[in-house]
Amino acid sequence: MNAETRRIEAKCHAALGSLNLPDRFTTQDLLDATSAKTGRRVIVQPAKLSGPMPFGMVLETATTYTILCPRNTSTLHRTHITHHELAHVLLHLSNADAPEPPRNHEFERAVRQLIPDLHPDLVARLRARTTYEDTQEHEAEYFATMAQAKLRAQVPHQRVDEEFPSGLRALFDVPVRASEQPVF
């Protein structure tokens, strides 16, 4: 394990440890503990995310962190996205000194379509909180994986009636259902 990986591991363990959770917990426990630590309500809201939108994002207001995640993905993926976005809340959103990312007009148009009544000042804040440098993404992925391993209940299995995103099928070696097999 190199020095950077050890640093990320220590940072993520410290963040998770600061929540005073038991050894095994649920995602709701993690949401509640993050809310208690930040003083803001944390909610997860399925949304239609596609095109230039990331898989998940956090909308920050004075009283709430709203985690937006795609409604058209598996429960397993949605859980991972939730944990990933919670990592950004715990590890990165408190950093007021973070530089503003470059403007992305395509992203701003997509946000406007998703949330048409969003105040213009919040678009910049949303943009600022959905674009992260590589180190922050590595930290969030490590935290999400670590949290997933500590879930009290097993990570939800793919429901039979849920479609597994094709791009992830090969990554996770998910067999093709008989009903999806090509007919020759």
Q: For 93-112, what is the mean pLDDT? A: 61
Judged against a pLDDT cut of 90, whether residue 58 lies above it is answered with no
| Whole-number pLDDT of residue 77 | 86
CA-based diameter of the chain, in Å? 59
- CB atoms near residue 134 (< 10 Å): 7
Q: State the residue range of the domain holding 156.
A: 3-180
Q: For 36-65, what is the mean pLDDT? A: 82
- Our CA angle for 130, 165, 50, nearest 5°, is 35
| Whole-number pLDDT of residue 15 | 94
Total domains in the fold of the chain = 1
Q: Exposed e or buried b for every residue in 95-115, given b needs 16+ CB within 10 A?
A: eeeeeeeeeeeebbebbeebe
| Whole-number pLDDT of residue 90 | 93
